[in-house]
Amino acid sequence: MHSVLDFAHVLATRGLEAGDIAVDATTGNGHDTVALARAVGAEGQVFGIDVQADALDSTEDRLVDEGLEGPVTLLHAGHEHLADHLPSRVHGQVGAVMFNLGYLPGSASTLTTTPDTTIPALDAAMGVLRPGGVATVVLYTGHEGGADEAEAVDEWAAALPQEQFRALSYRFVNQRNDPPRLVAVEKRADGEAGTTDPAA
């Protein structure tokens, strides 16, 4: 079985090709940004967003180490503003958006993501995705406020209209110490049937 983080990468990158556009809405230490940059190649474009300058610096260092800085544009902003900071030409053209919620690992900062900004950010992500595009959201419940944020994201995903989106939840149910969870959403292609039941 894939770990939650690995499965997020599988889902986010499986439909990306060289020249595509992707967004890392919470760059953190740059792991997701690197995965997206590899998937779209030098001809593609990745936009990495984070509200913390330390996160952007860490991401830039990782990209340089991997020789992947070329296709990446880093933006200092909160994820709820992602649509405002992306060029209008890419709206509706993004193949993948990745979110890794919680706090910046290894940082002294106590700043964490919250439903007040995360839910608007997810709504914005749905608007910039292309048909067939995927958004992944890795959730952590072990820190203060994390369980509330995970519940809010679960409720948001469950309320998405099935005619327009497919949403899944991926988690290990017998693991201790609050392991991360994953919510993923695929934007349906125009004209695609509104059910996943092949017998319907």
Residue 98 sits in a domain whose CATH number is 3.40.50.150
Residue with tokens 């497919």: 166
The whole domain housing 174 covers: 4-187
Q: Is residue 179, in this structure, part of any structural domain at all?
A: yes
Count the domains in the chain.
1
What are the E-state strand segments in the chain? 21-24, 45-50, 72-76, 94-100, 129-139, 165-170, 181-187
Q: Is residue 122, in this structure, part of any structural domain at all?
A: yes
Where helices occur in 78-131 by DSSP H, the ranges are: 82-85, 115-128
Q: Is residue 173, in this structure, part of any structural domain at all?
A: yes
pLDDT tens across the length of the chain (200 residues): 899 999 999 999 999 999 999 999 999 999 999 999 999 999 999 999 999 999 999 999 999 999 998 999 999 999 999 999 999 999 999 999 999 998 777 665 668 889 999 999 999 999 999 999 999 999 998 777 889 999 999 999 999 999 999 999 999 989 888 889 999 999 998 756 554 444 43
25 and 51 in contact (C-beta within 8 Å)? no
